[in-house]
């Protein structure tokens, strides 16, 4: 890889960091972490990883470790490893190597080069074939070439970095934000165990979407247990959990698309349609208006390359997402209505003509 190309990419990112991470405040610092997390999540989605550990260190750095296959160490004709290329050059495709499935956390997704360029220190340790390898960078420049550092148990990648305080107004991480995000990811990805270091909160593989239902909601549940459903349609997988509480407040419906909160779009419409379908109704808007009293819901959809409306990518537009969420909602509610008389009575009261 020509040295000039590397410098061009790094210099471009450091000159206009806002183009890559949004604001250069704490939200930008978190965006660096989400980029690293996205790569670890890809390993899980590909079936190669079952655990991700996130640690906030006392020196201001953060590390993300996974038990996946480990980033490739293959060397090209010019003598540059794939690992170094990923860490020092931008790519203009969804992923550097075109792998799928892949998720993007938030709107920036230009790869790990963004993280190395905006970090004062960065290291990557890769465990493959019983050996461990390490490379170190500072502000996007390699300071310690890739080298074997000894034997290793298992496989995986550990990335540790410290955001550059000359770039970010606040280079520290918000503990609550990171802890909540790590917990959300575990709940939204069945089979994945995550841990967050600071206070060592571990979120097991048995965590599920229902665990994200707001615990602060007032009032008691109107029925036996949360309604849960799961379905796949095309390239979308949906999981939902919802309940009704005897407190007449505005509905709380939290939607996720590819692990990010997405408050509007096809998945929300699919949830409303699924409620109506389970009750044998077609007028989903009217049915939702009736059922929204005391409603508390969380719905998640994973979909490859969803469409978005608007520059902030907050409103998704995907027929697969709509269909998958509608199916998951309808299935879950139909099963619950069959087994829970209290739920049947409550939904009947809410939808009774007035």
Asked if 106 and 31 touch (Cβ cutoff 8 Å), the reply is yes
Residues 6+ apart with CB under 8 A from 123: 134, 135, 136, 137, 159, 160, 161
Based on the domain organization, do 189 and 251 belong to the same domain? Answer: no
DSSP assigned state of 218: -
Based on the domain organization, do 49 and 198 belong to the same domain? Answer: yes
What's the token pair of residue 135?
A: 């490379």
203, 236, 258 — which closes off a domain? 203
Asked if 296 and 352 touch (Cβ cutoff 8 Å), the reply is no
Based on the domain organization, do 234 and 339 belong to the same domain? Answer: yes
Q: Give the rounded percent of residues in the chain with a pLDDT score beyond 70.
A: 87
- Say yes or no to pLDDT of 142 above 60: yes
Based on the domain organization, do 237 and 184 belong to the same domain? Answer: no
Q: How many domains does the chain have?
A: 2
Residue 309's beta-bridge partner residues? 315
- Give the least confident one: 27-31, 159-163, 205-209, 277-281: 205-209
Based on the domain organization, do 223 and 266 belong to the same domain? Answer: yes
Most confident range (mean pLDDT) of 54-58, 131-135, 195-199 is: 131-135
Based on the domain organization, do 106 and 192 belong to the same domain? Answer: yes
183, 203, 223 — which closes off a domain? 203
Based on the domain organization, do 69 and 158 belong to the same domain? Answer: yes
- Which among 168, 110, 108, 114 is positioned nearest to 139, based on CA atoms? 114
CATH classification at residue 283: 3.30.230.10
Most confident range (mean pLDDT) of 132-136, 162-166, 300-304 is: 132-136
- Section 284-304 average pLDDT: 92
Q: Give the rounded percent of residues in the chain with a pLDDT score beyond 90.
A: 58
CATH classification at residue 170: 3.30.565.10
Based on the domain organization, do 251 and 302 belong to the same domain? Answer: yes
Q: What is the pLDDT of residues 24-46, one digit of tens each?
A: 888 899 999 999 998 899 899 88
In the block, which residue shows the tokens 């956390």? Answer: 105
Terminal Cα distance for the chain, rounded: 72
**Which of the two residues, 103 and 23, has the higher pLDDT score?**
23
Domain that holds residue 296: 210-351
In the block, which residue shows the tokens 């997704």? Answer: 109
Res 1: pLDDT? 45
How many angstroms separate the CA atoms of 185 and 175, rounded? 16
- Which among 87, 164, 167 is positioned nearest to 125, based on CA atoms? 87
Based on the domain organization, do 161 and 261 belong to the same domain? Answer: no
Based on the domain organization, do 307 and 225 belong to the same domain? Answer: yes
Res 18: pLDDT? 85
158, 188, 203 — which closes off a domain? 203
Q: What is the pLDDT of residues 49-84, one digit of tens each?
A: 999 999 998 888 999 999 999 999 998 888 889 999
3-state DSSP: the chain helix, strand, coil percent, rounded to 5? 35, 30, 40
Based on the domain organization, do 164 and 126 belong to the same domain? Answer: yes
Residue 302's beta-bridge partner residues? 237
Based on the domain organization, do 133 and 18 belong to the same domain? Answer: yes
Res 4: pLDDT? 47
Residues 6+ apart with CB under 8 A from 67: 49, 50, 51, 154, 155, 156
Residues 6+ apart with CB under 8 A from 239: 188, 190, 208, 209, 228, 229, 230, 299, 300, 301, 328
Res 221: pLDDT? 82
């Amino acid at each position: 890889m020509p040295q000039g190309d590397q410098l061009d990419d790094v210099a471009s990112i450091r000159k206009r960091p806002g183009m890559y991470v949004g604001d250069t405040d704490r939200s930008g610092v978190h965006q660096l972490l989400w980029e690293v997390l996205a790569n670890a999540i890809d390993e899980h989605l590909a079936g190669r990883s079952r655990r991700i550990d996130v640690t906030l260190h006392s020196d201001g750095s953060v590390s993300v470790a996974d038990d996946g296959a480990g980033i490739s160490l293959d060397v090209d004709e010019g003598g540059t490893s794939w690992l170094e290329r990923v860490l020092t050059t931008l790519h203009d495709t969804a992923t550097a190597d075109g792998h799928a499935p892949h998720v993007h956390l938030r709107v920036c997704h230009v790869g790990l080069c963004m993280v190395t360029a905006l970090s004062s220190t960065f290291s990557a340790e890769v465990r493959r074939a019983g050996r461990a390898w390490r490379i170190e960078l500072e502000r996007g420049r390699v300071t310690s070439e890739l080298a074997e550092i000894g034997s290793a148990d298992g496989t995986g990648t550990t990335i540790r970095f410290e955001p550059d305080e000359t770039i970010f107004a606040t280079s520290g991480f918000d503990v609550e934000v990171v802890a909540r995000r790590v917990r959300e990811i575990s709940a939204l990805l069945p089979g994945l165990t995550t841990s967050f270091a600071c206070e060592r909160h571990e979120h097991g593989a048995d965590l599920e979407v229902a665990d994200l239902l707001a615990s602060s909601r007032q009032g008691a549940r109107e029925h036996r247990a949360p309604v849960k459903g799961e379905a796949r349609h095309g390239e979308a997988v949906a999981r939902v959990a919802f309940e009704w509480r005897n407190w007449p407040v505005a509905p709380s419906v939290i939607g996720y698309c590819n692990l990010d909160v997405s408050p509007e779009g096809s998945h929300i419409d699919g949830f409303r349609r699924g409620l109506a379908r389970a009750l044998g109704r077609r007028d989903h808007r009217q049915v939702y208006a009736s059922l929204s009293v005391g409603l508390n819901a969380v719905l998640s959809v994973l979909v490859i390359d969803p469409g978005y409306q608007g520059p902030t990518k907050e409103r998704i537009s995907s027929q697969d997402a709509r269909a998958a969420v509608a199916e998951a909602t309808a299935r879950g509610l139909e099963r619950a209505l069959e087994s829970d008389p209290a739920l049947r009575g409550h939904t009947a009261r809410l939808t009774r003509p007035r």
